[in-house]
Amino acid sequence: MAIGYLSLVLHAHLPFVRHPEYPDFLEEDWLYEAISETYIPLLVAFNHLRDEGVKFRLTMSMTPPLCEMLTDPLLQERYLRHLNKLCELSEKEVARTRQEAPHFYDAAVMYHRHFHECREVFENVYQRNIVQGFRQLQDEGFLEIITCCATHGFLPLMSNETVKHAQIQIARENYLKHFGRPPRGIWLAECAFNPGDDRYLREAGIQFFIADAHAILYGTPRPRRGIYAPVITPEGVAVFARDTETSEQVWSSDIGYPGDPNYREFYRDLGYDAQDYDYIKPYLHDDGVRRNTGIKYHRITGKVALHHKEPYVPAWATERAAEHAGHFMHNRQAQARHLHGALGRAPNILAPYDAELYGHWWFEGPQFLFYLFKKLHYDQNEIQPISPIDYLEFFPHNQPQTPSASSWGAEGYNRVWINQQNDWMYMHQHAAEQRMVELAEQFPNADGLLQRALNQAARELLLAQSSDWAFIITTGTMVQYAVKRFKDHIHRFTRLYDMINAGAIDESWLADVESKDTIFQELDYRVYYPQTL
């Protein structure tokens, strides 16, 4: 029997970005880059492991907005158009580097192979719906896919119980639509927990959630096994806490693996480096402004200026990914040996990360996971990769505790999502939340046009509640877009509220909004009726 367990958790999330009113929209690239650099490479790695007979186990959250975008026909068509351009560009780059820049040739060949593989997987293997690939791996027992709050809403900053309940119930129904069964676990948005929020999880049948270490360490009473065993909340939901040491080995900018000199440099891209503007222009957006293409020819090299970065050598990077996988495994073995003796039972070492770290930010991340699971399978028998749900089956009796209020943001609480830059948002969000409950109470049995308007009002509220807008404003990236998105959804909600109360719904305007904000077609606004609690 294993002396320790490793629970790797990847949090796959993007805000719902879909703009049919424009033929080409920059922020949709967030999705396209994540598909090519993270989601498809992970699928390919997982499928190779399965086909080689490697017993691996991994937990992934796939948030409702992400699943809705990945299954949206418009975004699927636009991604394929985006990918076809990259395939064409990569073909030109193979020819160009062979003649003009042989030091980049191996990387160009790698990109050519990568983009064509993405197209094969996306269009031919999964018929444009890669959610089915992850669902298949879950059905086969390799993945445990968990859900998230409906629109990655930050529960502690919502104004009442009904809207918190709705965020979880809507997420549950959306998960059921995409994966064919109810979710067993949840990644609370930003790992944000406030005592009492476990009630909404229990009502949705959720058995466990992920938290940062201080949620358990500062909980009441103090945990007997620290962060290496779950605790059970007053509502009977298990909490698994992040192991900081394990996480830092991957994501730390100082000691983390992604900073290795041989790995790909994220901040040098052909979209900026190409000297011939006319050559690169067809592969930019319609405005012609230079942007990232995903073809990057330099390695990190070291702490040197970007113009001093040296050529990327894919073979060197692959070798380092395998070495780092072995180093990570050996450290977990040593950690498990120590903890097993101290705790009196096999510890669970929980290592949660943003999924986009693997592939998008750390290009070699999917290779690292591939080699890690192979090494865990073939090279040792002390550590077993599992999901948190498996640990609950192995050890069903765990310490009761009320976890502390917490998040995994800077300083561990709510400051990232409410501060001097974004606190203006919440008076509008809270007013809309209270009005949505009011509408559900006022019209408990609507049908026809009124029902459509009420359902769309719920969608607009949900999209306004996304924690991504407050986060983007705090970090100072794409602030104008985040502010506009929040204001647009509040404006649309308010107009719907006024039209519904006036009994004069503008159907053509409603249809236009329905065509843009298409998330959650299964949504029933009655989830906001307080008697459903």
Q: How far apart are CA 85 and CA 97, in angstroms?
A: 18
CA atoms within 13 A on the CB side of 171: 37
Both structure tokens of 466 = 């996304």
CB distance 18 to 28 below 8 Å = yes
Q: What are phi and psi of 82, to 5 degrees?
A: -60, -45
Active-site pick, 173, 190, 212, 260: 190
Residues in Cβ contact with 449 at an 8 Å cutoff, skipping those fewer than 6 apart: 505, 507, 510
Question: Does residue 169 contact residue 204 with C-beta atoms inside 8 Å?
Answer: yes
Does residue 15 have a cis peptide bond before it, meaning omega lies within 30 degrees of 0? no
| 273 token code pair | 């480096």
Query: Which residues touch 219 (CB under 8 Å, ≥6 apart)?
Result: 231, 401, 402, 403, 404
Asked whether 510 and 450 are in contact (CB, 8 A), the reply is no
d(CA 27, CA 484): 13
Collapsed DSSP state (helix, strand, coil) of residue 175: helix
Alpha-carbon span 138 to 146, nearest angstrom: 10
Q: Which candidate in 354, 382, 517, 524 is catalytic?
A: 354
- In whole angstroms, give the CA distance from residue 94 to residue 20: 34
Contact between 526 and 444 under an 8 Å Cβ cutoff? The reply is yes
Pull the structure tokens for residue 216: 């358990």
**522 CB-near residues (< 8 Å, 6+ apart):** 173, 174, 177
Q: Alpha-carbon distance 158 to 151, whole Å? A: 13
Beta bridge partners of 187: 148
Assign 74 to helix, strand or coil. helix
User: In the annotation, is 197 catalytic?
Assistant: no
Phi, psi of 222 (to 5 degrees): -65, 145
Q: What is the DSSP string of 362-426?
A: BTTHHHHHHHHHHHHHHS-SSEEE--HHHHHHH----EE-BPPSB-SSGGGSSTTTSSTTTTTHH
Q: State how far the Cα of 495 lies from the Cα of 489, in Å rounded to an integer.
A: 10
Strands (E), 110-227: 143-148, 185-187, 208-211
| Direct distance between the N- and C-terminal alpha carbons of the chain, in angstroms, rounded to an integer | 43
* Distance of alpha carbon 471 from the chain centroid: 14
Residue 438 is among the residues annotated as catalytic for this protein: no
Contact 224, 265 (CB under 8 A): no
Distance of CA 200 to the CA centre of its chain: 21
Q: Which residues are catalytic?
A: 190, 354
